[in-house]
Amino acid sequence: MSDYYLTKKRWHAISTNDKAADGEFFYGVKSTKIFCYPSCKSRLPKKENIVIFQDADDAISHGYRACKRCRSGGTALPDTEWVENIATYIDENFAKPLTLQIIAEDCHGSPYHLHRTFKRITKITPITYLDDIRIDYAKKQLLNTLESIEVIGKKAGFPNPSHFSTTFKRHTGLSPNRFRKGQQ
């Protein structure tokens, strides 16, 4: 496996979605643990997040899962497994500025298909799931730290304090400040 690393030629094949390179190697994305054909049309990952595999079995043996979009595993990834991947991705990246588009691109699917599949399996939308994760994190921070509400909101992934307060109140019935005072 020593000759399986990211060369200029492989990077060019990945960055140009070169179908001719399919079968020569697969690339994995460290941040999502998904592996793809070089021709995969998903968002181009950062160079430093790419690992190269000889074949699909090699990628799977290193803990990577097949891409839903390019079907790098030969068949489509089962929807339940894909939704588990999406949930794990959200769990690990909730503090980042995520949108349905970003989640779909990083999880190798279209926003519409991802939304529909996620909701069919979990009974909630991916954005509702994201908000739930963020609010759970914020509740723990409100109870266990003395950080300001603004700082907690930012750490939880909310771009501004008013969005954080509105979402928090919609989920809990209380403002973040009341929640903190009521639990002490």
**Is 36 marked active-site?**
yes
Could you tell me how many helices (H) and strands (E) the chain has, helices first?
A: 9, 4
DSSP 70-100: TTTTSSPPPHHHHHHHHHHHHHHHTTS---H
Q: Is 183 helix (H, G, I), strand (E, B) or coil?
A: coil
Q: Is 4 helix (H, G, I), strand (E, B) or coil?
A: coil
Q: Which residues is 51 bridged to in the sheet?
A: 28
Which among 36, 40, 67, 107 is annotated as catalytic?
Answer: 36
Say how far apart CA 167 and CA 175 lie, in whole Å: 9
From the list 159, 120, 155, the residue with the least C-alpha distance to 141 is 155
Just list the catalytic residues.
36
